[in-house]
Protein backbone atom coordinates (compact mmCIF):
# COMPACT_ATOMS: atom_id res chain seq x y z
CA UNK A 1 0.00 0.00 0.00
CA UNK A 2 1.38 3.41 -0.99
CA UNK A 3 1.66 6.13 1.64
CA UNK A 4 -0.08 8.65 -0.66
CA UNK A 5 -2.59 7.72 -3.37
CA UNK A 6 -4.04 10.37 -5.68
CA UNK A 7 -6.78 8.89 -7.85
CA UNK A 8 -8.14 10.81 -10.87
CA UNK A 9 -8.64 14.18 -9.19
CA UNK A 10 -10.21 17.17 -10.93
CA UNK A 11 -10.37 20.80 -9.80
CA UNK A 12 -11.68 23.76 -11.77
CA UNK A 13 -11.90 27.46 -10.97
CA UNK A 14 -14.65 28.85 -13.16
CA UNK A 15 -13.71 28.06 -16.74
CA UNK A 16 -10.12 27.16 -15.82
CA UNK A 17 -9.43 23.44 -15.36
CA UNK A 18 -6.51 23.56 -12.93
CA UNK A 19 -6.22 19.80 -12.32
CA UNK A 20 -7.51 17.40 -14.95
CA UNK A 21 -7.74 13.73 -13.96
CA UNK A 22 -4.38 13.55 -12.16
CA UNK A 23 -3.32 10.23 -10.61
CA UNK A 24 -0.09 9.18 -8.87
CA UNK A 25 1.19 7.44 -5.77
CA UNK A 26 4.05 8.00 -3.32
CA UNK A 27 5.72 5.21 -1.37
CA UNK A 28 7.18 5.40 2.12
CA UNK A 29 10.58 7.13 2.18
CA UNK A 30 10.45 8.51 -1.36
CA UNK A 31 11.60 12.04 -2.17
CA UNK A 32 9.39 13.05 -5.08
CA UNK A 33 10.05 16.11 -7.22
CA UNK A 34 6.85 17.68 -8.58
CA UNK A 35 7.54 19.52 -11.84
CA UNK A 36 5.47 21.68 -14.13
CA UNK A 37 5.30 25.13 -15.67
CA UNK A 38 3.48 28.01 -13.99
CA UNK A 39 -0.22 27.25 -14.07
CA UNK A 40 0.28 23.50 -14.54
CA UNK A 41 -1.70 22.71 -11.38
CA UNK A 42 1.10 21.96 -8.89
CA UNK A 43 0.01 24.23 -6.03
CA UNK A 44 -3.67 23.32 -6.42
CA UNK A 45 -2.75 19.62 -6.25
CA UNK A 46 -0.66 20.16 -3.13
CA UNK A 47 -3.38 22.19 -1.43
CA UNK A 48 -5.86 19.37 -2.06
CA UNK A 49 -3.39 16.86 -0.59
CA UNK A 50 -3.09 18.88 2.63
CA UNK A 51 -6.89 19.44 2.91
CA UNK A 52 -6.85 23.16 2.03
CA UNK A 53 -8.73 22.64 -1.26
CA UNK A 54 -11.50 20.17 -2.08
CA UNK A 55 -11.35 18.24 -5.37
CA UNK A 56 -14.39 18.45 -7.63
CA UNK A 57 -14.10 14.69 -8.12
CA UNK A 58 -11.62 11.91 -7.52
CA UNK A 59 -10.01 10.80 -4.27
CA UNK A 60 -6.85 11.40 -2.24
CA UNK A 61 -5.80 8.93 0.45
CA UNK A 62 -3.03 9.48 2.99
CA UNK A 63 -2.02 6.37 4.93
CA UNK A 64 -5.22 4.76 3.57
CA UNK A 65 -7.40 7.59 4.94
CA UNK A 66 -9.52 9.71 2.60
CA UNK A 67 -8.59 13.37 3.06
CA UNK A 68 -12.26 14.43 2.82
CA UNK A 69 -13.52 11.87 5.34
CA UNK A 70 -10.65 12.22 7.85
CA UNK A 71 -9.16 15.74 7.48
CA UNK A 72 -8.09 16.10 11.13
CA UNK A 73 -6.26 12.78 11.17
CA UNK A 74 -4.59 13.52 7.82
CA UNK A 75 -3.36 16.93 8.99
CA UNK A 76 -1.48 15.26 11.84
CA UNK A 77 0.46 13.20 9.30
CA UNK A 78 1.43 16.03 6.93
CA UNK A 79 3.81 18.96 7.29
CA UNK A 80 2.86 21.74 4.85
CA UNK A 81 5.33 24.38 3.64
CA UNK A 82 3.56 26.82 1.28
CA UNK A 83 5.35 28.99 -1.26
CA UNK A 84 4.28 32.10 0.71
CA UNK A 85 3.41 32.34 4.38
CA UNK A 86 2.59 35.20 6.70
CA UNK A 87 4.44 36.24 9.81
CA UNK A 88 3.31 38.23 12.82
CA UNK A 89 4.64 41.63 13.90
CA UNK A 90 6.48 41.97 17.21
CA UNK A 91 7.21 38.23 17.40
CA UNK A 92 10.63 36.59 17.46
CA UNK A 93 11.62 33.19 16.04
CA UNK A 94 11.10 31.23 19.26
CA UNK A 95 7.76 32.90 19.98
CA UNK A 96 6.58 32.14 16.45
CA UNK A 97 7.43 28.43 16.68
CA UNK A 98 6.11 28.22 20.25
CA UNK A 99 2.77 29.69 19.13
CA UNK A 100 2.36 26.95 16.52
CA UNK A 101 3.63 24.25 18.87
CA UNK A 102 0.83 25.18 21.29
CA UNK A 103 -1.65 25.18 18.39
CA UNK A 104 -0.55 21.60 17.61
CA UNK A 105 -1.32 20.67 21.22
CA UNK A 106 2.27 20.21 22.41
CA UNK A 107 2.65 20.80 26.14
CA UNK A 108 5.28 21.16 28.83
CA UNK A 109 8.59 19.32 28.42
CA UNK A 110 7.46 17.69 25.17
CA UNK A 111 6.93 21.14 23.61
CA UNK A 112 10.28 22.40 24.88
CA UNK A 113 12.13 19.33 23.54
CA UNK A 114 10.47 19.65 20.13
CA UNK A 115 11.25 23.36 19.90
CA UNK A 116 14.90 22.79 20.86
CA UNK A 117 15.23 19.99 18.30
CA UNK A 118 13.72 22.05 15.47
CA UNK A 119 15.73 25.19 16.30
CA UNK A 120 18.92 23.12 16.24
CA UNK A 121 17.95 21.19 13.09
CA UNK A 122 17.19 24.37 11.11
CA UNK A 123 20.18 26.28 12.57
CA UNK A 124 17.80 28.87 14.01
CA UNK A 125 18.85 28.36 17.62
CA UNK A 126 21.27 31.29 17.41
CA UNK A 127 18.44 33.40 15.99
CA UNK A 128 15.78 32.40 18.52
CA UNK A 129 15.34 35.97 19.80
CA UNK A 130 15.54 37.70 16.42
CA UNK A 131 12.26 39.30 15.20
CA UNK A 132 10.70 37.33 12.35
CA UNK A 133 10.61 40.39 10.10
CA UNK A 134 14.40 40.76 10.36
CA UNK A 135 15.29 37.36 8.90
CA UNK A 136 16.90 36.83 5.51
CA UNK A 137 15.03 34.93 2.80
CA UNK A 138 16.93 31.73 3.57
CA UNK A 139 16.33 32.08 7.33
CA UNK A 140 12.64 32.73 6.68
CA UNK A 141 12.39 29.55 4.61
CA UNK A 142 14.03 27.57 7.39
CA UNK A 143 11.53 29.04 9.85
CA UNK A 144 8.66 27.92 7.61
CA UNK A 145 10.20 24.45 7.37
CA UNK A 146 10.57 24.38 11.15
CA UNK A 147 6.87 25.18 11.52
CA UNK A 148 6.03 22.28 9.19
CA UNK A 149 8.11 19.91 11.33
CA UNK A 150 6.52 20.76 14.69
CA UNK A 151 4.04 17.87 14.65
CA UNK A 152 6.77 15.41 13.57
CA UNK A 153 4.82 14.52 10.40
CA UNK A 154 5.41 11.41 8.29
CA UNK A 155 4.99 13.34 5.02
CA UNK A 156 6.32 16.77 4.09
CA UNK A 157 4.69 18.70 1.23
CA UNK A 158 6.94 21.60 0.19
CA UNK A 159 5.78 24.11 -2.43
CA UNK A 160 8.71 25.88 -4.16
CA UNK A 161 10.84 25.81 -0.98
CA UNK A 162 14.04 27.01 -2.71
CA UNK A 163 12.45 29.89 -4.64
CA UNK A 164 14.36 33.14 -4.24
CA UNK A 165 17.23 31.63 -2.24
CA UNK A 166 20.84 32.54 -2.91
CA UNK A 167 23.33 29.74 -3.78
CA UNK A 168 24.47 29.29 -0.16
CA UNK A 169 20.91 29.06 1.12
CA UNK A 170 20.03 26.56 -1.63
CA UNK A 171 22.88 24.29 -0.55
CA UNK A 172 21.80 24.57 3.08
CA UNK A 173 18.24 23.67 2.17
CA UNK A 174 19.32 20.65 0.08
CA UNK A 175 21.30 19.43 3.10
CA UNK A 176 18.19 19.71 5.28
CA UNK A 177 16.22 17.64 2.75
CA UNK A 178 18.88 14.92 2.86
CA UNK A 179 18.81 14.92 6.66
CA UNK A 180 15.02 14.62 6.68
CA UNK A 181 15.25 11.69 4.25
CA UNK A 182 17.78 10.05 6.58
CA UNK A 183 15.20 10.43 9.36
CA UNK A 184 12.76 8.41 7.28
CA UNK A 185 10.53 11.27 6.16
CA UNK A 186 8.64 11.11 2.87
CA UNK A 187 8.91 14.36 0.87
CA UNK A 188 6.90 15.82 -1.99
CA UNK A 189 8.67 18.91 -3.37
CA UNK A 190 7.66 21.25 -6.18
CA UNK A 191 10.18 23.44 -7.97
CA UNK A 192 11.02 25.06 -11.31
CA UNK A 193 14.72 24.26 -10.81
CA UNK A 194 14.88 20.78 -12.29
CA UNK A 195 18.61 20.27 -11.78
CA UNK A 196 18.20 20.76 -8.02
CA UNK A 197 15.27 18.36 -7.88
CA UNK A 198 17.43 15.82 -9.70
CA UNK A 199 20.03 16.13 -6.94
CA UNK A 200 17.53 15.97 -4.07
CA UNK A 201 14.86 13.56 -5.33
CA UNK A 202 14.83 9.86 -6.11
CA UNK A 203 11.59 10.16 -8.08
CA UNK A 204 10.17 12.80 -10.44
CA UNK A 205 6.59 13.56 -11.43
CA UNK A 206 5.94 15.87 -14.41
CA UNK A 207 2.54 17.47 -15.03
CA UNK A 208 1.23 19.75 -17.76
CA UNK A 209 -2.20 21.42 -17.87
CA UNK A 210 -3.25 19.45 -14.83
CA UNK A 211 -2.33 16.04 -16.30
CA UNK A 212 0.53 13.67 -15.56
CA UNK A 213 2.99 13.45 -18.45
CA UNK A 214 5.82 11.46 -16.85
CA UNK A 215 6.71 9.66 -13.64
CA UNK A 216 10.05 7.98 -12.99
CA UNK A 217 13.56 8.34 -11.60
CA UNK A 218 15.94 11.16 -12.43
CA UNK A 219 18.34 8.67 -14.03
CA UNK A 220 15.64 7.38 -16.36
CA UNK A 221 15.30 10.93 -17.72
CA UNK A 222 18.99 11.73 -17.83
CA UNK A 223 20.04 8.61 -19.68
CA UNK A 224 16.99 7.43 -21.64
CA UNK A 225 15.82 8.82 -24.93
CA UNK A 226 12.16 9.61 -25.47
CA UNK A 227 11.68 6.53 -27.65
CA UNK A 228 13.05 4.25 -24.92
CA UNK A 229 16.47 2.80 -24.17
CA UNK A 230 19.74 4.59 -23.53
CA UNK A 231 22.56 6.19 -25.51
CA UNK A 232 26.25 5.50 -25.02
CA UNK A 233 29.40 7.03 -26.44
CA UNK A 234 32.34 4.71 -26.98
CA UNK A 235 35.78 4.54 -28.57
CA UNK A 236 37.05 1.22 -29.95
CA UNK A 237 40.25 -0.02 -31.54
CA UNK A 238 41.08 0.90 -35.12
CA UNK A 239 39.72 -2.36 -36.54
CA UNK A 240 36.21 -1.28 -37.48
CA UNK A 241 35.43 -4.59 -39.16
CA UNK A 242 35.03 -6.46 -35.88
CA UNK A 243 32.70 -3.77 -34.55
CA UNK A 244 30.65 -3.83 -37.78
CA UNK A 245 30.36 -7.62 -37.57
CA UNK A 246 29.27 -7.37 -33.93
CA UNK A 247 26.74 -4.60 -34.72
CA UNK A 248 25.20 -6.63 -37.55
CA UNK A 249 24.10 -9.23 -35.01
CA UNK A 250 22.53 -6.71 -32.61
CA UNK A 251 18.90 -6.06 -33.58
CA UNK A 252 18.31 -3.69 -30.64
CA UNK A 253 21.37 -1.45 -31.17
CA UNK A 254 21.98 1.36 -33.67
CA UNK A 255 25.29 3.17 -34.12
CA UNK A 256 26.40 6.47 -35.65
CA UNK A 257 29.92 7.83 -36.13
CA UNK A 258 30.88 10.99 -34.25
CA UNK A 259 33.94 13.23 -34.34
CA UNK A 260 37.30 12.13 -32.91
CA UNK A 261 36.69 8.45 -33.73
CA UNK A 262 33.82 8.30 -31.24
CA UNK A 263 30.82 6.08 -31.82
CA UNK A 264 27.36 6.81 -30.44
CA UNK A 265 25.18 3.75 -29.94
CA UNK A 266 21.54 3.70 -28.92
CA UNK A 267 20.41 0.59 -27.07
CA UNK A 268 16.69 -0.16 -27.02
CA UNK A 269 15.52 -2.20 -24.05
CA UNK A 270 12.54 -2.88 -21.84
CA UNK A 271 12.02 -0.03 -19.35
CA UNK A 272 11.62 -2.64 -16.59
CA UNK A 273 15.17 -3.85 -17.15
CA UNK A 274 17.94 -2.22 -15.13
CA UNK A 275 20.05 0.06 -17.35
CA UNK A 276 23.27 -0.88 -15.53
CA UNK A 277 22.61 -4.53 -16.38
CA UNK A 278 22.00 -3.57 -20.01
CA UNK A 279 25.34 -1.73 -20.11
CA UNK A 280 27.17 -4.67 -18.52
CA UNK A 281 25.66 -7.09 -21.05
CA UNK A 282 26.64 -4.79 -23.95
CA UNK A 283 30.26 -4.51 -22.80
CA UNK A 284 30.45 -8.28 -22.26
CA UNK A 285 29.14 -8.85 -25.76
CA UNK A 286 31.75 -6.48 -27.22
CA UNK A 287 34.58 -8.21 -25.35
CA UNK A 288 33.38 -11.65 -26.48
CA UNK A 289 33.42 -10.33 -30.09
CA UNK A 290 37.07 -9.27 -29.48
CA UNK A 291 36.25 -5.57 -29.92
CA UNK A 292 38.72 -3.56 -27.84
CA UNK A 293 36.83 -0.81 -26.01
CA UNK A 294 38.96 2.12 -24.81
CA UNK A 295 36.18 4.43 -23.64
CA UNK A 296 32.54 3.79 -22.77
CA UNK A 297 30.07 6.14 -21.03
CA UNK A 298 26.40 6.98 -21.01
CA UNK A 299 25.19 10.28 -22.43
CA UNK A 300 23.42 12.33 -19.80
CA UNK A 301 20.68 14.78 -20.71
CA UNK A 302 19.86 17.82 -18.63
CA UNK A 303 16.53 17.39 -16.85
CA UNK A 304 15.34 20.65 -18.43
CA UNK A 305 15.97 19.18 -21.90
CA UNK A 306 14.16 15.98 -20.93
CA UNK A 307 11.15 17.98 -19.74
CA UNK A 308 11.04 19.99 -22.98
CA UNK A 309 11.30 16.76 -25.02
CA UNK A 310 8.40 15.23 -23.13
CA UNK A 311 6.19 18.28 -23.66
CA UNK A 312 7.21 18.33 -27.32
CA UNK A 313 6.10 14.72 -27.77
CA UNK A 314 2.64 15.67 -26.47
CA UNK A 315 2.15 18.43 -29.04
Of 113-122, 169-178, 233-242, the least confident? 233-242
Q: Which residue has the higher pLDDT, 295 or 237?
A: 295
**Left if phi > 0, otherwise alpha if psi is -120 to 50, otherwise beta: which for 245?**
alpha
Alpha-carbon span 7 to 68, nearest angstrom? 13
This prediction has a pTM of 0.78
Q: CB of 303 within 8 A of CB of 195?
A: yes
**pLDDT computed for residue 224 by the predictor:** 53
* Rg, C-alpha atoms of the chain: 24
pLDDT, one tens digit per residue, over 280-301 is 888 889 888 888 888 887 776 6
What's the burial of 283, exposed, middle or buried (CB within 10 Å: 0-12/13-18/19+)?
middle
Share of the chain above pLDDT 90, in %: 51
Alpha-carbon span 39 to 100, nearest angstrom? 31
pLDDT, one tens digit per residue, over 15-37 is 999 999 999 999 999 999 998 88
**Buried b vs exposed e over 297-310: b needs ≥16 C-beta within 10 Å?**
ebeebebeebbeeb
Measured over the CA atoms of residue 70, residue 75, residue 78 and residue 81, the dihedral's sign is: positive
Average pLDDT over residues 47-52: 96
Name 66's bridge partners: 61
Amino acid sequence: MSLVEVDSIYRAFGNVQAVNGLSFSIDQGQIVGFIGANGAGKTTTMRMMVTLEVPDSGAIRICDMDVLDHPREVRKLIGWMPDHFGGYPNMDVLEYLDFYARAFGLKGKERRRQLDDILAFTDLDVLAERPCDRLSKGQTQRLCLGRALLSDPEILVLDEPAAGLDPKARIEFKNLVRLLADRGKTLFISSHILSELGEMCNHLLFIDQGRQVHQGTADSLKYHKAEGGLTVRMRCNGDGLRFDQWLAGQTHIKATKKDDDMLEIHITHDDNKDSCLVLAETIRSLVEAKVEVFEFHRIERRLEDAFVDILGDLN
